[in-house]
């Protein structure tokens, strides 16, 4: 099982509502990824957002920047909002990162957590499903052959167009991210794509039927189980002391949940919800080394994971807290998980 970190590029917001400059946060993110590589984590993913509380609107630019200052870590989006992107340019950008990084680039396609990109790039939300279907089809076709002929509804057709540059070995690994809809799971299984499940609330065990369905569809369409890959993305932060990290993180985490919740009609986020999430049955991996190791191993046992992604910057923890969490993950949690899985 690969162990890594996902981020959305959350900006730090203080009690006065003052927002951290994006320039500062971007420099911090680069330092954080360098540390991930140094402590031996397997992959890093960064999301795409077009909002004032996030620093990153173009994951590929961040990934290109860190491709030259890292050696081993895989570099991915988490996610690229495919519905409002041009698959041709998206492939070209990630193929370029793949070449710069000597084959470490991946692209994770999804619909995104928010909808700001649709009006920003001139797309109609009424076409939400059709956009994703068509653009995923085109992206996969580009990945499978350099010269293509293609016609669709939302983009100009392509006639004998060669899409360059090509990724290392003429193949870019493309993941798809899903929330919890059977239709998304069925599509991923049918296409034989590796899938990342976002488990960010409730009880993870509730997702087991979707994992089982994905595997069933994957096998039913004759895909090679030796290439089967499935992961989870879960809100995480690690510390030396469980209570101390809980007390530090709750105000930041709850503030972010409430900022988002205002636009989605959620009730105010409470401490008991936070602690329920941190419990063995909850979806938050926020605690000390032993708690985190046990919970990651439980996720692997429950779902048969090949990848675990710790979403570590929700609510904008300080750079110091992020660096400490990364150090604990790489130097203490990851070795313990890997050792346990070798038994």
* 120 in a structural domain: yes
DSSP E strands: which ranges in the chain?
2-7, 43-46, 74-77, 80-81, 105-110, 147-150, 158-162, 173-178, 195-198, 230-238, 285-287, 307-311
Domain that holds residue 159: 2-242+279-342
Q: How confident is the model at residue 1 (pLDDT cuts 50, 70, 90)?
A: very high
* 40 in a structural domain: yes
Closest C-alpha among 103, 105, 283, 98 to residue 180: 283
Q: What is the pLDDT of residues 40-79, one digit of tens each?
A: 999 999 999 999 999 999 999 999 999 999 999 999 999 9
Write the CATH number for 210.
Answer: 3.20.20.30
Please report the pLDDT score of residue 269 as a whole number.
96
Please report the pLDDT score of residue 179 as a whole number.
84
* 154 in a structural domain: yes
Residue 339, burial from CB neighbour count under 10 angstroms (0-12, 13-18, 19+): exposed
8 A C-beta contact, residue 108 and residue 79: yes
Q: What is the pLDDT of residues 160-183, one digit of tens each?
A: 999 999 999 999 999 999 988 899
Higher-pLDDT residue of 180 and 231 is 231
Please report the pLDDT score of residue 180 as a whole number.
81
8 A C-beta contact, residue 256 and residue 241: no
* 251 in a structural domain: no
* 262 in a structural domain: no
Q: What is the pLDDT of residues 302-333, one digit of tens each?
A: 999 999 999 999 999 999 999 999 999 999 99
* 249 in a structural domain: no
Provide the domain count of the chain: 1
Average confidence (pLDDT) over 239-249: 98
Contact residues for 142 (Cβ-Cβ < 8 A; gap 6+): 87, 88, 91, 148, 163
* 45 in a structural domain: yes
Q: What is the pLDDT of residues 274-300, one digit of tens each?
A: 999 999 999 999 999 999 999 999 999
CA–CA gap between residue 312 and residue 307 (Å, rounded): 15
Residue count of the chain: 343
Please give the helix or strand (H or E) that residue 54 lies within, else none.
none
Which DSSP state fits 15?
T
Please report the pLDDT score of residue 63 as a whole number.
98
Please report the pLDDT score of residue 263 as a whole number.
87
Please report the pLDDT score of residue 15 as a whole number.
87
8 A C-beta contact, residue 30 and residue 65: yes
CA–CA gap between residue 308 and residue 231 (Å, rounded): 5
In angstroms, the first-to-last Cα distance of the chain is 13
* 255 in a structural domain: no
Please give the helix or strand (H or E) that residue 341 lies within, else none.
helix 334-342
**Given its phi and psi angles, is residue 315 left (phi above 0), alpha (psi -120 to 50 degrees) or beta?**
left
Q: Is the pLDDT of residue 216 over 90?
A: yes
Structure tokens at 253: 């985490």
Q: What is the pLDDT of residues 71-130, one digit of tens each?
A: 999 999 999 999 999 999 999 999 999 999 999 999 999 998 899 999 999 999 999 999
Please report the pLDDT score of residue 122 as a whole number.
96
């Amino acid at each position: 099982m690969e162990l890594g970190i996902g981020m959305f590029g959350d900006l730090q917001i203080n009690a006065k509502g003052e927002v951290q400059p994006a320039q500062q946060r971007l420099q911090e993110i680069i330092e954080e990824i360098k540390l991930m590589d140094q402590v031996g984590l397997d992959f890093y993913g960064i999301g795409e957002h077009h909002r004032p509380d996030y620093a990153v609107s173009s994951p590929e630019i961040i990934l290109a920047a860190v491709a030259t200052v890292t050696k081993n870590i895989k570099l991915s989006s988490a996610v690229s909002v495919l519905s409002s992107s041009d698959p041709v340019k998206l492939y070209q950008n990630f193929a370029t990162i793949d070449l710069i990084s000597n084959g470490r680039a991946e692209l994770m396609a999804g619909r995104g957590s928010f909808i700001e990109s649709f009006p920003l790039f001139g797309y109609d939300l009424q076409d939400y499903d059709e956009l994703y279907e068509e653009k995923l089809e085109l992206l996969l076709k580009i990945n499978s052959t350099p010269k293509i002929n293609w016609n669709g509804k939302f983009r100009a057709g392509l006639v004998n167009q060669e899409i360059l540059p090509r990724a290392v070995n003429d193949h870019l690994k493309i993941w798809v991210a899903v929330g919890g809809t059977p239709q998304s799971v069925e599509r991923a299984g049918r296409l034989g794509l590796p899938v990342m499940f976002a488990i960010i609330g409730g009880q993870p065990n509730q997702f087991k039927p979707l994992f089982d369905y994905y595997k069933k569809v994957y096998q039913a369409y004759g895909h090679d189980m030796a290439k089967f890959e499935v992961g989870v993305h879960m809100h995480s932060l690690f510390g030396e002391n469980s209570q101390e990290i809980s007390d530090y993180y709750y105000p930041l985490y709850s503030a972010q949940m409430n900022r988002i919740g205002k636009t989605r009609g959620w009730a105010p986020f409470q401490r008991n919800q936070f602690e329920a999430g941190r419990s063995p049955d909850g979806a938050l991996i926020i605690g000390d080394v032993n708690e985190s190791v046990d919970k990651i191993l439980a996720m692997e046992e429950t779902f048969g994971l090949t990848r675990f992604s710790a979403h570590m910057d929700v609510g904008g923890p300080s750079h110091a807290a992020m660096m400490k969490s990364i150090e604990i993950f790489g130097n203490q949690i990851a070795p313990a998980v890997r050792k346990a899985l070798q038994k």
